Structure 1
């Protein structure tokens, strides 16, 4: 094993996504580190748990767990304590503090956040909406959407739509082309629901060239021409000014960062949860 390599075990009686997101966020601070992350979801029996922990002991692994089923979390914590393994129990300390402060009794139900409840079906409905009204396929969707995204080609409209749909938000998007007609429905939408996406010309040029190369085509076309890009961005900005909508420059921003700006600025609730 490389001296830089580290083992991490994620153990959950559900899908383990909460612990996985946490470790990935932490590992982002160590881009050169070799880390072996092993996930063990849906652990429901103590025998299974102990066998996983025995293997973790051999690897001297860090343990992150979201075990909530009665007995499993304490068994994991005790094993790690006795065997000098790092153990981070993500859920139980917070649950115990809530119980202490409020007197409410937790259900201790594994996978409670992934049940097929109303929240789940709202998310599926939002994803279907985003697919149906992607790339301006039907302008009628603008009037039903929680958010309408506008932007020239390669400003991350579609991936951002899908990301926001996973937050239970109905999103429609429209690609902006100077020669194309702006649908009448757009002018009927509350400007507070509209987000205009823009980008830096040089970055957009690079993205478009790479896209053409990926398709095996000549990268030097009108699609990647700087004058054309400047004209498209000017057209988009002029429209945003007329609409008086929120404008976000997506250059050097991740989808998550752009989504956070939208959610915070438009004061929309994030209804997405994972455990």
Structure 2
């Protein structure tokens, strides 16, 4: 049996470290045969704290990813790594220096600037509250207020997609589709360009529903997971999508992020 290579990754930030973590994982996911040990050190704002962390990194021969912007912190880490033959990725200082040079302006060098409670933050909270309120068609009036309306049979990622898009400041309402169920009148009043029909491959949906039932300790052989019933549900949905004239997206081989990008890039320009 092959033993996976192991690598320690120290993620250091003088803010919450979300950017540094995303940067590190975006790269390390490309190496499935390596076992990465992520150690996160957020809110590291002094060289005394850094000194202890860097000594740990030296003992672990760690790869260091940092997004330090506080005065002197990035230089302190980079110098230590150079002197101790540690691999380091500085995710901020060169970018900041380039912008400063290009614009002729001086950077603030304040950690966590993108997490301040600004208009965008409150807009995102409002969008998240909207997604929860108008999830699963609980209130059809939400379709008239939404930036995006998602339609789909059960287990086509409507709710997680709604929440992901809400994090991007879009107000999203969604409606589960069940054959023989009345479609709310409000849906027909929505611009079809703001409506997106989600579908899936029958066998993929069958597997997802069976696994969900097993997770809840239920018998996987039910009408809910029956392949013929699933095909009928999908046919009903496809017919509705055609009648509405909305964009149809098959989510079977797409991540939430990929589907969300397709949706946002297809929205009317005056959103």
Give CA-to-partner distance per residue, 1:13-70, whole Å, 9 cap, x none. 0111112112212222222311111000000111001111111111111110000011
Give CA-to-partner distance per residue, 1:213-263, whole Å, 9 cap, x none. 112222111111112111111111111111111110000211111111112
TM-score, length-normalised on structure 2? Answer: 0.95
RMSD: 1.4
Query: What is the match of residue 131 of structure 1?
Result: 132
Query: What is the match of residue 183 of structure 2?
Result: 182
Deviation at 1:3, TM superposition (A): 7.4
Name the count of aligned residue pairs.
Answer: 268
Q: Which has the higher contact order (CA 8 A, sep 6+)?
A: 1
Query: What is the match of residue 102 of structure 2?
Result: 101
User: Structure 1 232/16 Cα, relative in aligned 2: closer, same or farther at 3 Å?
Assistant: same
Query: What is the match of residue 156 of structure 1?
Result: 157
User: Structure 1 141/205 Cα, relative in aligned 2: closer, same or farther at 3 Å?
Assistant: same
User: Structure 1 193/89 Cα, relative in aligned 2: closer, same or farther at 3 Å?
Assistant: same
User: Structure 1 10/3 Cα, relative in aligned 2: closer, same or farther at 3 Å?
Assistant: same
Runs of 4+ in 1 over 3 A off after TM superposition: none
Give CA-to-partner distance per residue, 1:174-210, whole Å, 9 cap, x none. 0001121100111111111111000000111111111
Deviation at 1:267, TM superposition (A): 6.3
User: Structure 1 146/8 Cα, relative in aligned 2: closer, same or farther at 3 Å?
Assistant: same
Query: What is the match of residue 218 of structure 1?
Result: 219
Query: What is the match of residue 248 of structure 1?
Result: 249
Stretches of structure 1 that go unaligned for 5 or more consecutive residues are 270-275
Deviation at 1:266, TM superposition (A): 2.0
> Does structure 1 conserve the Cα–Cα contact (< 8 Å) formed by 2:17 and 2:40?
yes
Q: Secondary structure at the match of 1:67?
A: coil
Query: What is the match of residue 170 of structure 1?
Result: 171
1:7-156 paired onto structure 2 within 5 Å = 7-156=8-157
Between the aligned partners of 1:44 and 1:205, the Cα distance in structure 2 is 51
Between the aligned partners of 2:94 and 2:73, the Cα distance in structure 1 is 14
Q: Secondary structure at the match of 1:139?
A: coil
Stretches of structure 2 that go unaligned for 5 or more consecutive residues are none
> Does structure 1 conserve the Cα–Cα contact (< 8 Å) formed by 2:188 and 2:244?
yes
Between the aligned partners of 1:214 and 1:9, the Cα distance in structure 2 is 35
> Does structure 1 conserve the Cα–Cα contact (< 8 Å) formed by 2:197 and 2:248?
yes
Between the aligned partners of 2:220 and 2:5, the Cα distance in structure 1 is 40
Give CA-to-partner distance per residue, 1:148-185, whole Å, 9 cap, x none. 00000000000000111111111100000112110011
TM-score, length-normalised on structure 1? Answer: 0.94
Deviation at 1:265, TM superposition (A): 2.2
Between the aligned partners of 1:202 and 1:113, the Cα distance in structure 2 is 43
